[in-house]
Amino acid sequence: MGDASPAPSDNQDESRTTILSPGTVESRNYASNDGTSQKISSEIRAFIAGTDGNGAALGLRSEFRTFFTITMFITRLPSPSWIDLHPGFLMRGMGYFPIAGSVLGGMIAIVLDCMDVSFGLPTVVASAFAIGFGLYVTGCFHEDGLADSADGLGGGWSKTQMLKIMTDSRLGTFGCAVLSLFLFVKLQLLGSLGISHWELGGFQNERFSSGAGPAILVSQMLSRLSAPYLIRTRDYIAEVGPKSPFYAFMIEAKHLVSWSRVSFATAYCFIISSMLYGPVFTAFLIIAVLALAHLAGNKGDYLLGGVMGDFLGGTICICEILVLMLIVSKDAIIETYGVATGAVSGEDFFNPVQHVIALYSEDRLRPLFHLIFLVATVKIWCTYVGPPDMYDSGDEKDEKDNEEKKD
């Protein structure tokens, strides 16, 4: 691939291709004494400053390259010939993830509306065609991460085993089950939303969009907000397997995904989603996505020591389902909230027992109490019953074995 403004000759090979010289990328794979990567290497400093020959600090052209690096990475769509898959631009481009998601969501929504309205197919059938189109355009990119993460986290007994399973190209039982559930739930949620009704005046009036099409666009966009947030707030861990040389650059990813880029992605999501669903519900959706991403990050820290590509993809899929669920159940949530506030309005404010009794007496709220009780019981049981944590013990054994091998 040619470039209109080639990099200096001493760095030309590295700047224009992802096949770097032997040992270059592996040298980036380091960690500090506490297991994190807070130090910025000279290579990353040079990239951020734009002094390494890649032109990362050249303004509009650099941002243009950054955006199309993302689209080339997560879709089958071609990018301009001078765009290559440089890992630095890829990480910086995480701030554009929601923009790419909104473009994908718009394309998928067009297919759904055509099948639903023009061809008169049932919404659930039209949704199946739309989902299939989305899987083709993205090459099942995030779905592959969901399946790999399910296999690794479900079948691994230590961090080393989980990472090894996640990089295995074969699909296991956990991955098959979770992927099937994901597609089934997504299909049913879209089918239940019905025909699309587009309204772009969410800021000015109370007429909001409804139906499957707007939900697809917003869910594709908001779910991808989880990626820049997780990369910025968590450590990116070294991957094993054939892709490890490329992904090793990303161990310092949080220094490339700045808070300003995360803020830009959040603002973009808020503006576009507010045009369809209004600012109040949009704020609720964004908070829900970031909260789920934060919980997923905590789980990633606990099980893996950070986040990685497959884990990010799996989180995006789960966030997509969350957004669709909230859109589908918006009216029911509002009604449930009204029932809850009405049930306790006449009770003594300083008597919580009366509040609980009043809430539990409502048929609409009783199943919610049962779910809370179930989750709390399982959590308490798993915390205080059984042997020490198997993940910690497994990792300690792996570290001990590695130390013995070194000795």
Q: At residue 316, what are phi and psi to the nearest 5 degrees?
A: -60, -40
Burial of 3 (0-12, 13-18, 19+ CB in 10 A): middle
Count Cα neighbours of 61 within 13 Å in the Cβ-side half-sphere.
11
> What mean pLDDT do residues 223-233 have?
95
> Which ranges of 156-278 does DSSP label H, i.e. alpha helix?
159-166, 173-193, 212-223, 226-233, 244-247, 259-277
Residue 40: band (very low, low, confident or very high) from pLDDT cuts 50, 70, 90:
confident
| pLDDT at res. 205 | 65
For 277-301, write each residue's pLDDT tens digit.
999 999 999 999 999 999 999 999 9
Q: What is the pLDDT of residue 5?
A: 39
Torsion sign (Cα): 265, 220, 174, 381: positive
- CA–CA gap between residue 126 and residue 212 (Å, rounded): 10
Q: Which of 306, 320, 293, 314 is nearest to 253 (CA)?
A: 306
pLDDT at 265 over 90: yes
The predicted-structure confidence for 291-348, as pLDDT tens digits, reads as follows: 999 999 999 999 888 998 899 999 999 999 999 999 999 999 989 888 888 877 766 6
**By the 8 A CB rule, do 179 and 143 touch?**
yes
User: What's the pLDDT at 204?
Assistant: 66
The answer to whether 32 and 39 are in contact (CB under 8 A) is: yes
Q: Give the pair of three-digit tokens for residue 24.
A: 């270059």
Average pLDDT, the chain: 82
Task: Kindly state the percentage of the chain with pLDDT values over 90.
Answer: 48
- Average pLDDT on 365-377 reads 93
**pLDDT tens column, 81-116:** 888 878 888 888 899 999 999 999 999 999 999 999
- CA–CA distances in Å: residue 255 to residues 65, 235, 241, 248, 250: 19, 10, 24, 14, 9
pLDDT in tens, 345-357: 766 667 778 888 8
Give the pTM. 0.83
Q: Which residues contact 404 (CB under 8 A, 6 or more apart)?
A: none
CB under 8 Å to 337, separation ≥6 — which residues? none
Question: CB–CB of 151/174 below 8 Å?
Answer: yes
